[in-house]
Amino acid sequence: MKILGAGSLHLIYALLVLLHMQTSIGSNSTTTDDGVKCIKSERQALLAFKQGLVDEHGRLSSWGSEEEKKNCCEWEGVQCLSGNNFNLSHIPESIGSLNKMQHLDLYYCNLSGSLPSQLANLTNLQYLDLSYNKFNIQSLVWLYHLSYLQYLRLGGNDLSKVNNDWLQVINKLPHLTNLSLDGCNLRDVIPLYFPIINTSSTSLVHLDLGSNNLTASTFQWLFNFSNSLVSLNLSSNQFRVLWEPVQIKVSMPT
């Protein structure tokens, strides 16, 4: 394999490494005692991956086992992985091969395109953050397979085309504790959906629905989580306070 060497290939590098490692991605827990966000096993996996590449132009000269190169997050073509610029790249379908991965953080990485249905293969995921990218989200059906999810963040992506699906997804994720759907262009859910929402997924603790187009009818659904919610953000929606006129009777002295 030859290195083609464009910024848009950074995501492909990272995912190819993960195919070799079959571990987690994007977690701050990879920070070592000396503050380097690259543990030894990750560095070794990258170097093993490098051995199978033909690097004619020395683009991977920053990859090495020397002491001054031990932070693989600073190597050319490697990103540790949230808050990076992947130049509107798409998530490749090969991500479905990472079926042992538990943590995927692609927050604010300038990714685009449709979400591959192969994400449904990541059945061990406990943490998923795809927020603040430019995804064209047509369906959330793949989320039904991620039954171990505890943290789900999709904020900043347009979910108007799957407006009712997100309620169904929540109901199928029994371990979900944190959900962020802020700035997703969500509208009121059709009342027909309320009767089929049961209380089986009452583990939800933190819910962020800020900056959407929701109205007071949302509260009917929120009652399902009234015993579990600790924090709730509904700011910048379409709620209105309705004031009923109060009659004041004043008795005049005779």
CA distance linking residue 82 with residue 107, whole number of Å = 5
pLDDT at 184: 94
pLDDT at 26: 44
Q: Report in angstroms the alpha-carbon separations of 99 from 25, 144, 159, 230, 245.
A: 12, 15, 26, 32, 59
Contacts of 222-228 with CB under 8 Å at 24 or more apart are 224/197, 224/198, 224/199, 227/202, 228/202, 228/203, 228/204
CA distance linking residue 234 with residue 253, whole number of Å = 49
User: Is the full-model pTM beyond 0.75?
Assistant: no
pLDDT at 129: 95
pLDDT at 6: 43
pLDDT at 127: 94
* Full pLDDT tens readout for the chain, 254 residues: 334 344 445 565 555 555 444 444 444 444 555 555 677 877 887 888 788 778 888 888 999 989 888 888 888 877 677 777 888 888 888 888 888 888 898 999 899 999 999 999 999 999 999 999 999 998 899 999 999 999 999 999 999 998 777 887 878 899 999 999 999 999 887 554 444 444 445 688 999 999 999 988 777 778 777 788 999 999 999 887 655 555 555 555 66
Residue ranges with strand state E in the chain: 103-105, 112-113, 127-129, 134-135, 151-153, 178-180, 206-208, 231-233
> Exposed (0-12), middle (13-18) or buried (19+): which is 167, by Cβ within 10 Å?
middle
pLDDT at 29: 41
pLDDT at 7: 40
pLDDT at 17: 52
